[in-house]
């Protein structure tokens, strides 16, 4: 069973980050954070795919899949984001 306290820790970290960027919608915040994490972790979670554009031409695309990311790694990343924000004050 996973540690229940991790939920409050992660949510608290997200709240701190979001409060610094209150004009973002929640899913914008999450998307931006996932892009940052992926960029820092050599493309973690990036899945390449092909799709059709509006002209019916096949084009390459990508999306992020964080299904298997462990909470402790996400928590450490969020804390690092906060630490960096506080240094920039």
Q: Can you give the pLDDT at residue 4?
A: 97
Q: Can you give the pLDDT at residue 59?
A: 96
Task: Give pLDDT tens digits for 11-25.
Answer: 999 999 999 999 999
Residue ranges in the chain whose pLDDT is less than 50:
none
Own/partner pairs, 77-84, CB within 8 angstroms, 24+ separation:
77/33, 77/36, 77/37, 77/40, 78/10, 78/13, 78/14, 78/17, 78/33, 79/13, 81/13, 81/17, 81/33, 81/36, 82/13, 82/16, 82/17
CB atoms within 10 A of CB 11: 11
Q: Can you give the pLDDT at residue 78?
A: 98
Q: Can you give the pLDDT at residue 89?
A: 75
């Amino acid at each position: 069973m996973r540690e229940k306290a991790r939920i409050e820790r992660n949510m608290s970290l997200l709240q701190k980050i979001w409060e610094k960027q209150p004009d973002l919608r929640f899913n914008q915040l999450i998307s931006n954070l996932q892009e940052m994490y992926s960029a820092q972790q050599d493309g973690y979670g990036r899945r390449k795919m092909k799709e059709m554009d509006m002209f019916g031409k096949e084009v390459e695309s990508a999306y992020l899949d964080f299904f298997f990311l462990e909470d402790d790694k996400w928590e450490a990343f969020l804390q690092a984001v906060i630490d960096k924000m506080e240094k920039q004050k």
